[in-house]
A and B are shown apart, each in its own frame.
Chain A
């Protein structure tokens, strides 16, 4: 379960769930209860659940990321919460698939759950601990969009670093090239995979920040690869 995810699987989790493809029913909560055991060393759920290593997961659906008071979240999670990340079926699915692809710098040291059906089952189980799903205005969907095939060459693209250097000038109107993190996070010296996945998460509007959604939304796959190639070592 915790084996290393391939980039393709990460991207499938990020990109595929935003598609408008036909939906499958949410998973089997009984099987999800079994799967939750691997979460239970850090997270509690159910009667009397408390935040310990990780935040408790009662009422997780509809909760803003990073919003449990007195829990010590990472800066990345707090920033996502401030930006407006709400936990719903789509965002939880992406986070469980690969936590750091959705939230850079998250403290959740879990490498991800690659199988879509596993995630669907787990989320079905967790959903039983949100008091009354029927009361959630959007009736947090009980179906998952199916995951379409992602062209396998997207993450295999070799970025053109010189092109990335030009494109990076759009980034450095806000982000500092030396990695200074001051109100706006650092984007330098990232592994290329993480960079590509993060930009796809903005492009597909999984990550909520409007400026980044706008900037990433018009970048082609080649441009994202070029930026990743540049920012991995901008010196």
Chain B
């Protein structure tokens, strides 16, 4: 073996060793971006980086589910306005059309010094930039009597997927004149109008098949998003069906007993037939494991780039981030993802970087063809993502406008899911 061929052999062996140590890595030499979480933030960021870098950046998306079921519109499924299968989206196009390495596994740790992500299935994935978009997890002990082991008896149905099917099945099986209860979450939480759109959709379903049933909301908050619109709608469409217990009457002092199907509100026991517990929330676990969260459970970020305040090589998107005025919503995550994707491309390649823009709109369905919306624009300041302008539907709007708003929400769903998954 000549010296030249020996050096070549050694170099080749080293490359093979590196490859074995990091089996997910492709395209050596290209900057590597790893995205954890394939929802509105993660899928959008992965797609935009891959699309706009045109192969200059190696993108790996780590997401345990092979089919992603959106949390938004799961209420419409419960109300009978959407089929469950229509909420599911595959990652096939991200892999086949955008060249993204989609890894179906759980991320169980981040080594920020080594810049690697550990996977439950073994091995680790190296990154130059990491994007975390893990959504929410629930705070332990937030509702006395409830933990994840109780989620079959008292579903949260707040992460999309099979929990929504379970909750719908329970509602369908309610006895005539029975009671559906919701334990609503404290601020801040995913999708501020979401619990109340759910109430609307449950009321719609019950009106169709069990009109003497009752709905009880146990709520720790004094007020909530789109409150006047929802209350007007409930009065109009579901008069007498919905009762809300706010903090003035003990809505913030609740415990549940899943075995007995009881909700205890400030010491008063309520026997219920279905109990939908939406606990207090925090950033998805991987953000905590990466030591990026604060005492409130969220990951603070730099507004202009969505970089973690703790680590400039990591960006945190969507519900898990603590960014300022934007609500935790799929739309917000999608908006933030584009800003982060631009910042990441700018940092890793020579691409142009433009001023960040953020916006959010949130549609809610109250009854058949009765949709409302709220939205706002935001700008990045040093301190936070700050609201600059906004709007909300008016009470008393006519049916044509409400119908158009609902149809618009269907268009938005088609638009954002295309924006995420191609």
- Residue numbers of A with Cβ under 8 A of B are 64, 79, 81-84, 162-163, 165-167, 169-170, 172-178, 180, 182-184, 210-211, 213-215, 217-218
Minimum CB–CB distance for B416 against chain A, Å = 5
Write the B330-363 contact mask toward A (1 if CB under 8 angstroms, else 0).
0100110010001000000000101001010100
Q: Report the nearest B residue to A66, measured CB to CB.
A: B400
Given A173-B331, A214-B375, the answer on whether A184 and B415 have CB atoms closer than 8 Å is yes
Whether B377 contacts A215 by the Cβ 8 Å rule is yes
Contacts of A84 in B (CB 8 A): 401
Determine the main DSSP class of A at the interface with B.
helix
Whether B354 contacts A166 by the Cβ 8 Å rule is yes
Alpha-carbon separation in the docked complex, A169 to B49 (Å): 12
Contacting B414 at CB < 8 Å: which of A82, A163, A167, A183? Answer: A183
Whether B377 contacts A172 by the Cβ 8 Å rule is no
Contacts of B361 in A (CB 8 A): 174, 211
Alpha-carbon separation in the docked complex, A211 to B377 (Å): 9
Whether A167 contacts B411 by the Cβ 8 Å rule is no
Q: Total A-B pairs in contact (CB under 8 Å)?
A: 87
Whether A174 contacts B415 by the Cβ 8 Å rule is yes
Contacts of B415 in A (CB 8 A): 172-176, 184
User: Interface segment, B1-9, B246-254, B271-279, B388-396?
Assistant: B388-396
Q: Report the nearest A residue to B409, measured CB to CB.
A: A183
Minimum CB–CB distance for B9 against chain A, Å = 46
Contacts of B411 in A (CB 8 A): 174, 182-184
Whether B404 contacts A218 by the Cβ 8 Å rule is no
- Residue numbers of B with Cβ under 8 A of A are 48, 52, 331, 334-335, 338, 342, 352, 354, 357, 359, 361, 373, 375-377, 388-391, 400-401, 403-404, 407-412, 414-416, 418-419
Determine the main DSSP class of B at the interface with A.
helix
Alpha-carbon separation in the docked complex, A193 to B331 (Å): 29
Whether B404 contacts A163 by the Cβ 8 Å rule is no
Whether B414 contacts A180 by the Cβ 8 Å rule is yes
Question: What would be 26 A-B contacts, judged by CB atoms less than 8 Å apart?
Answer: A79-B404, A81-B400, A163-B354, A165-B52, A169-B338, A170-B338, A170-B357, A173-B359, A174-B415, A176-B414, A176-B415, A180-B418, A183-B408, A183-B409, A183-B412, A183-B414, A184-B412, A184-B415, A211-B361, A213-B391, A214-B375, A214-B377, A214-B389, A214-B391, A217-B377, A218-B377
Alpha-carbon separation in the docked complex, A30 to B414 (Å): 51
Whether A183 contacts B410 by the Cβ 8 Å rule is yes
Alpha-carbon separation in the docked complex, A213 to B390 (Å): 10
Given A82-B403, A215-B377, A218-B377, the answer on whether A173 and B419 have CB atoms closer than 8 Å is yes
Residue of B391, B400, B409 with most partner-chain A CB within 10 A:
B400
Residue of B377, B415, B419 with most partner-chain A CB within 10 A:
B415
Contacts of B334 in A (CB 8 A): 173
Contacts of B388 in A (CB 8 A): 218
Alpha-carbon separation in the docked complex, A177 to B361 (Å): 19
